[in-house]
Amino acid sequence: MTAEEPLVIRGGRVLDPSQKLDRVGDVVIERGRVAAIDPPDGQLPLGEPTVIDARGLVVAPGFVDIHTHLRVPGFEYKEDLVSGSRAAAAGGFTTVCAMPNTDPVLDTRSVLEGLFEQVEAQATVRVYAHAAVSLGQAGRQLVEMGGLSEAGAIGFTDDGVPLASSTLMRHALEYAAQLGRPVSNHAEDPALTAGAAMHEGQVSMRLGLPGTPRQAEEIMLARDLLLAELTGGRYHCIHVTSGGSIDLIRRAKDRGVDVTAEVTPHHLTLTDALVAGRTDPVSAALPPYHANTKVAPPLREQADCDALAAALADGAIDCIATDHAPHAVQDKDVEFAHAAVGFTMLETALPLALTLVHDGRLDLATLVERLTIAPARCYGLPGGTLAPGSPADVTIFDPDEEYVVDPALLASKGKNTPLAGLPLLGVVRRTLVGGVDVFDRDAAQPVGGRA
Amino acid sequence: MPLHRKHLIDVADFSRDEVELVLDTAEAMRTVLERPIRRAPTLRGKSIVNMFFEPSTRTRISFELAGKSLSADVVNVAASGSSVEKGESLVDTFHTIQALGADLVVMRHACAGAPDLAARHLACSVVNAGDGLRGHPSQALLDLFTVRQHAGDLEGLKLVIVGDVLHSRVARSDIWGFARMGAHVYLSGPPTLLPAGFGDLLDGDGVVRVEHDLDRAIDGADVVMALRIQKERMAGGLLPDLREYARRWGITAARLRRADRRALVMHPGPMNQGLEISPDAAYGPQSVITEQVTNGVAVRMAILYLLLAGAPT
């Protein structure tokens, strides 16, 4: 299939929160763009259109992930642009935003341009990138923010490494403000997280694993929000995990601070109890101390999950981001304290987030909004909409179909999921970027031209 | 009755019957140790590998003697320093040990959960000889054994564990073990080393109380256990002053007078005398500290026996 042929996605529930659209209809795509959204079974466009039968399925704008560890350059053994694109497409994401904690770090224009050249040659979904805040993510000297911004950096972050210096954070916010780019930070006070391997609470106490309290996040987040207020800079809160952080974000938003926030599917739905293992269901049994439950910031408690879900529903948290963090077996199959942090998440984000919808805590339209136009707005990205004239980035999914997580079937090189064997609901059936198929669950072979 | 287990990793998993089985077996093992030739042929032909990734003299020797008293071949792998520092992964070490044909691995490691990792990769049995802050099950079993010998029954006994509970794997295992056997566990120590949350550890299944004031905690106690204070805790801001610690939480003969007059005094060793315990308490008439060491061999013999020979075929 080429983008030149007209394409009609027929009879699906077209759900596009950017247009407040939620009705059964046909999405007509011409020359890679959305031409119209018609009533169902209307007249087909001229020529010989390809028809995708979407009856019984949801047709949504392609999902936008503003927090993706694509591992390029330097850690291609964990993920590369081919596997990363396939994972994104299989998870319904048509846009991903690479994080800069690579080797070398995305801290200079030439490294960023090198990444974009590889993206051009290998990626099948749209790839944007964050640049580091500090050279080498060492927390001492600012990167060439202007040049990186011109080269396409959508924002600045030392994600993975907390920016300890309040002075540097202040200056980063001041400097980035004139560029209109948000700054974000892995908000965990390093003094309070030193040596920690999980959330500090009853579970860590029982397991004898050093823990880090919520306050490690809240202290640094409070500082960052105060500095955003001081400087007038734009600040984006990444992977918020605690109820206390939400209170801080609400207060900052009320005071008019230019702040947005994201939450991951796993912090919304999983708790620190998982580190002690899972016995139910048997298919998803997980032994205690399994490093596939280790993530930073750590999984917290049910009360935090509840507060995060409520904040996502009411908009205090703007959007969902995956924090997709693929790792190889040898990074994870070590002592818990020494294991790498993070989960492979692109392909499980939708079914995991859908648990909130199936539990009645979030409506489907809001979830789709938090996966599409909302994250796009946080960084001013195009996409996240099916408005006529926009690129035909489309995700077609069945929110009720059973999906059992099987690491072996993940397109990502990272098989590090705490969800293996878990039956969830929600299956991405088909993903299009610019009207071109990049994922088709029914195809025997991976689709998507350049890969 | 056999022990239907392959590994001994965490005493928290053990039922009351299983604990009693180990203690009863240890009684029998003690008689072996009292013979002129302290050796039984029970584990002849079995090989046991001691893998100690953290320095340990007492526990390693105790396991070594236990294995040899049962005629097993015991090999000590000198694995000081972390495997990461050596550039060798722990999993790789397991595969090597496996290929060399061990029947049981005794493992000490600085990281909580390392024995679980071992159990996932090794086909043989794994005995946890201490992992990080998580547990030291053979120590808890020998403590239970020692107290049972003196008190007869553990049900309703008041045990006070004093000191750096937060950083103590011995304390964690003793909490599980004693609470499981029906004892009432009181914890005492400075709040920096004993978070109040320890009082909620058991989830209704037993009695654990936090009482920072030692004089109140020790009132009427049947067993008083002092934990070793690591002097480096001061550097982390966890303890303001060692003399202040000794004054407030040190176990002395004078303080013991508040406990039951037959109260037992215990310490997992090695002791800082004059700090967490004074010599008049450590070597006084109520002290069972050296018995703990002797009983350690019998209890470890029982563990090795139950995992290697007692298992149903």
Distance CA A186, CA A168 (A): 14
- Residue B313 above 80 pLDDT? no
| Of residues A334, A336, A211, A196, the one with CA closest to residue B112 | A336
- Buried b or exposed e, range A335-350, using 16+ CB within 10 angstroms: bbbbbbbbbbbbbbbb
**Residues B137-291, CATH architecture:** 3-Layer(aba) Sandwich (3.40)
| Of residues A251, A201, A259, A200, the one with CA closest to residue A228 | A259
Q: Kindly indicate the confidence band of residue B82, based on its pLDDT and cuts at 50, 70 and 90.
A: very low
Q: Just give the CATH number of B16-136+293-308.
A: 3.40.50.1370
Please judge whether B117 and A333 are an interchain contact, meaning their C-beta atoms are less than 8 angstroms apart: yes
Question: Domains of chain A (ranges plus CATH)?
Answer: 62-378 (3.20.20.140)
So where are chain B's domains?
16-136+293-308, 137-291
| Of residues A17, A14, A21, the one with CA closest to residue A369 | A17
Please judge whether A338 and B120 are an interchain contact, meaning their C-beta atoms are less than 8 angstroms apart: no
Q: What are the pLDDT digits (tens) for B139-196? A: 999 999 999 999 999 999 999 999 999 999 999 999 999 999 999 999 999 999 998 8
Residue B311 pLDDT: 52
On chain A, the residues whose CB falls within 8 A of the CB of B111 are 335-338
Please judge whether B113 and A210 are an interchain contact, meaning their C-beta atoms are less than 8 angstroms apart: no
* Residue indicated by tokens 């996409």: A383
Query: Active site residue: A26, A159, A323, A393, which one?
Result: A323
HEC letters along B170-189: HHHHHHHHHHHCCCEEEEEC
Residue A145 pLDDT: 98
How many CB atoms neighbour CB A139 within 10 A? 18
Q: What is the mean pLDDT of chain B?
A: 92
Among B85, B116, B194, most A C-beta atoms within 10 A, so best to mutate, is: B116
Work out whether strand A319-320 and strand A7-16 pair parallel, antiparallel, or are unpaired: unpaired
A23, amino acid identity: R
Same fold for the pair B16-136+293-308 and B137-291: yes
Give the pair of three-digit tokens for residue B111: 């990281």
Please judge whether B112 and A337 are an interchain contact, meaning their C-beta atoms are less than 8 angstroms apart: yes
Among candidates A205, A207, A330 on the partner chain, residue whose Cβ is nearest the Cβ of B195: A205
Distance CA A259, CA B41 (A): 72
* Residue indicated by tokens 């298992």: B311
SS3 content of chain B, % helix, strand, coil (to 5): 40, 15, 40
Q: How remote is the C-alpha of B293 from its chain's centroid? A: 11
Helix (H) / strand (E) element for A61: namely strand A58-61
Higher pLDDT, B265 or A45: B265
Among candidates B120, B172, B200 on the partner chain, residue whose Cβ is nearest the Cβ of A208: B172
Please judge whether B113 and A333 are an interchain contact, meaning their C-beta atoms are less than 8 angstroms apart: no
| Of residues A95, A55, A50, the one with CA closest to residue A398 | A55
Please judge whether B134 and A209 are an interchain contact, meaning their C-beta atoms are less than 8 angstroms apart: yes
Sequence-distant (≥ 6) Cβ neighbours of residue A209 within 8 angstroms: A197, A198, A275, A289, A336, A337, B112, B113, B132, B133, B134
Distance CA B201, CA A40 (A): 59
Sequence-distant (≥ 6) Cβ neighbours of residue B191 within 8 angstroms: B212
What would the DSSP string read from start to end of A196-251?
Answer: --EE-SHHHHHHT--EE-HHHHHHHHHHHHHHHHHHT--EEE-S---HHHHHHHHH
On chain A, the residues whose CB falls within 8 A of the CB of B134 are 207-209
How many CB atoms neighbour CB A1 within 10 A? 12
Whether residue A149 contacts residue A177, with contact meaning beta carbons closer than 8 Å, is answered with no
Distance from CA of A414 to the nearest CA of B (A): 19
Query: Which regions in chain A score pLDDT beneath 70?
Result: 1-4, 444-451
Residue A402: burial class (beta carbons within 10 Å; 0-12, 13-18, 19+): exposed
Among B51, B133, B170, B200, most A C-beta atoms within 10 A, so best to mutate, is: B133
A438, amino acid identity: V
Query: Which residues make beta-bridge pairs with A433?
Result: A436
- Residue B213 above 50 pLDDT? yes
